[in-house]
Amino acid sequence: MDSKASTTRPLTSAKTETAVIPRIPREIIDGILDYLATDSYSAVTFLRSCSLVSKSWVPPCRRHLFRFVTFDLRNVDRWLEAFPRPEESPAHHIRELCVRFGGRDCIPEGFFEVTPLFKNVEKLTLMGLRGLPLRVPSLWKLPPSVTSLTIKTNAFTLVEVRDLLALLPDLNGLSLTGYLAAGGVPVGIGTVLRGRFGGRLRILKGPAHEGITKMLLEIPTGLRFTEMEIRCKCKFLLSTVKLAEACGETLVKLLYAVSVYGEAHSFRSGRF
């Protein structure tokens, strides 16, 4: 009997085509995110959405999302919970740091274990009201990279402010307002301030103008402020003049404002 010819067709391997998605150059991604970050109203929403595109988009998005961070009691707890391994946190992206404390929002002790990681912070703002006891400011570990410090609080004495300034060797901008004098700063006693002490100086309101002036004039390395904005009572005019003289040729702009009988009066000067 003749064998029947096999009608079964040989099996052929199916061809699988893989879609090739072109990779977007990193500089284009950075350009897109830089543009989105300029929208002050929608930047956070846009950047959070972009961080979900792919893992490669997360680091450049974090660079913008964590550029400015405000810490209070709630945010500190959320930060420590979100980043249990501090070395993997986005702390190195922070350039502007604001710390709120006092009363119900008093910063917990855990915050002082995190601050050494903020190694690229340039602008630091400390604000709040006197409330629950704080750790002594001289024991704080502030980022030495800070070049601009703003203090808006009545929680510090002048001595504590001086101790904070001593932690910032590259300070090049200082704004002080609203804190307590508490007897002033003893002459020749305590921490010696050393640093550049240039850039812009702002002393706004507050009862401690004379004590602040004395503290700054005692800095052995001298003052190099280029701009000064002083708002105080009329009786502190002489101390303001001494500050201006101490800056010598570096001072190019001065704004001096006083309140006399409830009316504000100001003096502006251009280049000296």
Q: Token pair of 180, please?
A: 């307590």
Statement: the pTM of the whole predicted model exceeds 0.85: no
Arithmetic mean of pLDDT, 247-256: 89
Residue range 96-114, pLDDT digits in tens: 998 887 655 566 666 777 7
Residue that has been written with the tokens 């190019």 in this structure: 252
Contact partners, residue 83, CB within 8 Å, separation at least 6:
89, 90
Q: Give pLDDT, residue 21.
A: 56
Can you state the angle between helices 26-37 and 58-65, rounded to 10 degrees? Answer: 30
- Residue 253 vs residue 14, higher pLDDT: 253
Q: Give pLDDT, residue 22.
A: 64
Q: Give pLDDT, residue 174.
A: 92
Q: Give pLDDT, residue 147.
A: 92
Residue range 152-166, pLDDT digits in tens: 877 777 888 888 888
Residue range 1-44, pLDDT digits in tens: 555 555 555 555 555 555 555 677 777 777 877 777 777 667 78
- Residue 235 · residue 206 · CB < 8 Å: no
In terms of residues, how long is the chain?
272
**From 2-16, 49-63, 250-264, the region with the lowest mean pLDDT:** 2-16
Q: Is the pLDDT of residue 181 over 50?
A: no
Q: Report the percentage of the chain scoring pLDDT > 70.
A: 71
Residue range 115-174, pLDDT digits in tens: 777 889 999 998 876 654 455 666 677 888 999 999 887 777 788 888 888 888 888 899
